[in-house]
Amino acid sequence: MKIVATFKPSDEIINKTKDLYPKEHFIFQETIKEAYDDIRDADVLVTYGEDITADIIDEATNLKWIMVVSAGLEMMPLQVINERGIMVTNARGIHKIPMAEYTIFMMLQVVRQGKRIQQIEQQRNWERDFSQAMELYGKTIVIVGIGAIGSEIAKLAKAFSMKVIGVNKSGSPNEFADSTYPISQIEHALTQGDFIVSILPSTDETKYLFTDKHFTIMKREAVFINIGRGDVVKDTTLLEAIKEGEISHAVVDVFEQEPLPKSHPFWELDNVTVTPHISSRTSLYLPRAFDIFYHNFDVLNGKNGEYINLVDLNRGY
């Protein structure tokens, strides 16, 4: 079987993969361009999902399975893949620990004035007036899209004695949330939040879900954190909310356009923290993703078990 990856993981992962399956033909390329010719007769494709086009799928006549080592699939030609009957799995579930730690880190950075601390250290300034610094203790966090990642965030937030409000499609309870609202009642939840964390995927239902009115009803001290997908809110809407003082701070890891242009106003604002879509990235990211690949590859080759993270191509997740 020929398996082609459109990126190169660490040598450790490459060697482990080849050792586990010595009879299989693995090819690891740096980019989709370098892998293009190999994909044409590949049986399995391993990708981040951002580099696959309908034309590539059309030419990959032997393709049986696409393993996407991320969770988002919005950039993939799912209709064409579905028409071909190609199986797709993703790395859903491996993000919860790093993304939860990122969220807590960013909340602490805001309340404990992390940017200012860094500045006075660089200036070698012995400044000790931090009377405006806040604490997470007793604050309320609203987690919009409280699934696996949101549950991990909620669990950590509880360690800081925070109140947790969850929002999901149906309002079904979450073991770590004090209360949970359906998405139809999101406005009631937002009015209570000191921190609003969006972990929503990109779907027809979530695109530009957050509008001007949502930021208007948030607390003026609220911090908005987006680690889900960039198209849950328009950049212009969030920018206006910041400039009008409708919220106090925004932490943005995902954007409508990525990479974020260097000329974008977000870069210049002290009360906006920009990170380049890295909330899930740690040294353990790809090892966890390849563990899912190994399991599914074994099932594909007849080993007893069920596929992990099999994607419903009609629903897009």
214 in catalytic set: no
Q: Catalytic residue among 40, 84, 277, 281, which?
A: 277
Helices (H) and strands (E) in the chain, counts: 11, 12
Q: Which of 12, 34, 121, 258 is catalytic?
A: 258
Residues 270 and 248 sit within 8 Å (Cβ to Cβ): no
Of these residues, 95, 229, 246, 249, which one is catalytic?
Answer: 229
Bridge partners for 310 per DSSP: 89
Q: What are the residues whose beta carbons fall under 8 Å from the beta carbon of 63, sequence distance 6 or more? A: 39, 42, 43, 44, 45, 57, 84, 86
Distance CA 125, CA 144 (A): 39
Assess contact for 94 and 88: CB atoms under 8 A: no
* Burial of 301 per CB tally in 10 Å (0-12, 13-18, 19+): exposed
In sequence order, what are the residues at sequence separation of 6 or more whose Cβ sits closer than 8 angstroms to the Cβ of residue 153? 99, 100, 103, 104, 141, 143, 197, 199
Catalytic residue status for 116: no
How is residue 254 written in tokens?
Answer: 């995902």
Residue 229 known to be catalytic = yes
Distance, C-alpha 17 to centroid of its chain: 26
Catalytic residues: 229, 258, 277
